[in-house]
Homo-oligomer: A and B are copies of this chain.
Amino acid sequence: MEMLREYFKGFGELSEPNMDLLLSSCQERQLFKRDMLIQANQTVGSIYFVTDGFLHYYTHNDFGNQITLKIISPNYCWTIMDSFFHQTPTLDECKALTDVRFCELKKPDYLKIKSENVELSNFIQNITEQILSAKTVEAKKQSSLSVEERYLELLQTQPKMVQEVPVNIIASLLGTSRETLHRIRRRLAAA
């Protein structure tokens, strides 16, 4: 919970009572490796904040292949936005890659927090804007960097993820095959 407090602080000032109210609306939970957090056809009812471990967020393309959309690492706030905001079922899934500890903010509590008072309402708006901003930066990287460049960045920013998550899933995250990622690694090791 302390980790979540620090995370929220990063988005700006928030008075003590409002911070406590916000944190008390979040529930701590955990999953074991291979447990599903979200199954296909489910409607996502919460926002999640991982404090330890890794989650695998993926979907399937028209030919049934698994497509990794994100590996969610600690200190990250995440949900399946369209399902959460519109309350429609999703076809995506989310599964624990390791044992995972996380906090959960359920939609009713999210709505209550938003309408509690002006400071909290502005705070949530601020977070939403910053997440939106971060998403577009991420999308830009996806378009403008090569697989190798993105792998190098992952190594720098998420060394633990690269260690603990199977190569085929890292490859899928980078939008390539296990074999091609292997070629990149071999090339980098040689240099």
* Residue pair A59, B144 in contact (C-beta under 8 Å): yes
* Residue pair B130, A129 in contact (C-beta under 8 Å): no
- When distances are taken between beta carbons in the complex, the residues of chain B under 8 Å from A163 are none
* Residue pair B128, A139 in contact (C-beta under 8 Å): no
* Residue pair B114, A125 in contact (C-beta under 8 Å): yes
- A132 at the B interface (CB under 8 A): yes
- When distances are taken between beta carbons in the complex, the residues of chain B under 8 Å from A132 are 81, 85, 128, 131-132, 135
A166 to B114, alpha carbons, bound, how many Å?
45
- A82 at the B interface (CB under 8 A): yes
A172 to B68, alpha carbons, bound, how many Å?
23
The closest CB in chain B to the CB of A145 belongs to B61
- A187 at the B interface (CB under 8 A): no
* Residue pair B136, A81 in contact (C-beta under 8 Å): yes
- A142 at the B interface (CB under 8 A): yes
The answer to whether A135 and B128 touch (CB under 8 A), given A59-B144, A121-B121, A144-B61, is no
The answer to whether A85 and B125 touch (CB under 8 A), given A67-B144, A69-B140, A142-B142, is no
- The binding surface of chain A is classed by DSSP as helix
Residue of A59, A67, A125 with most partner-chain B CB within 10 A: A125
- A89 at the B interface (CB under 8 A): no
Contact code string A69-110 (vs B, CB < 8 Å = 1, else 0): 100000000001110011000001000000000000000000
A68 to B121, alpha carbons, bound, how many Å?
35
- When distances are taken between beta carbons in the complex, the residues of chain B under 8 Å from A142 are 139, 142-143
A28 to B80, alpha carbons, bound, how many Å?
35
- When distances are taken between beta carbons in the complex, the residues of chain B under 8 Å from A86 are 133
Q: Which residues of A contact B (CB under 8 A)?
A: 59-62, 67-69, 80-82, 85-86, 92, 114, 121-122, 124-125, 128-140, 142-145, 149, 175
5 residue pairs, one from A and one from B, having the closest CB atoms: A81-B133, A67-B144, A81-B136, A82-B133, A132-B132
